[in-house]
Amino acid sequence: MSVDQATVRRIARLARLSSSDDALPRVAAELTRVLDLADQLAGAPLAGVEPMAHPQAQALAWRDDGVTAGDSADAFLALAPDTRGGLYLVPKVIE
């Protein structure tokens, strides 16, 4: 699978990573090589094989939807680059 530069730009946008014009050819070539590796699976006898998402066959454990650790809002807000009045601040989204 050869990845073109337009595809790199589209994937980078989906991943919220920048795609500068001078880096595009290199990134496209690298992605092509990794996907070529993945394409080795194309010849494997995979028809009818149940996909395996996880090593554990059993369902995930459930727990009560209750407070366990108490209110740590201040501790977590203290990690943020910018907050005000208990809220995270980001650039204005709606004019």
DSSP code for 88: E
67 binds other proteins (CB under 8 A): no
Q: Cβ distance 2 to 30 under 8 Å?
A: no
Binding-site member from 4, 5, 6, 17 for other proteins (CB under 8 A) = 17
Give the whole-angstrom CA distance, residue 33 versus residue 20.
20
Query: Applying CB under 8 A, which residues contact other proteins?
Result: 3, 7-8, 11-12, 14-18, 27, 30-31, 33-35, 37-42, 44-46, 49-56, 60-61, 63, 68-69, 72, 75-76, 78-82, 88, 90-91, 93
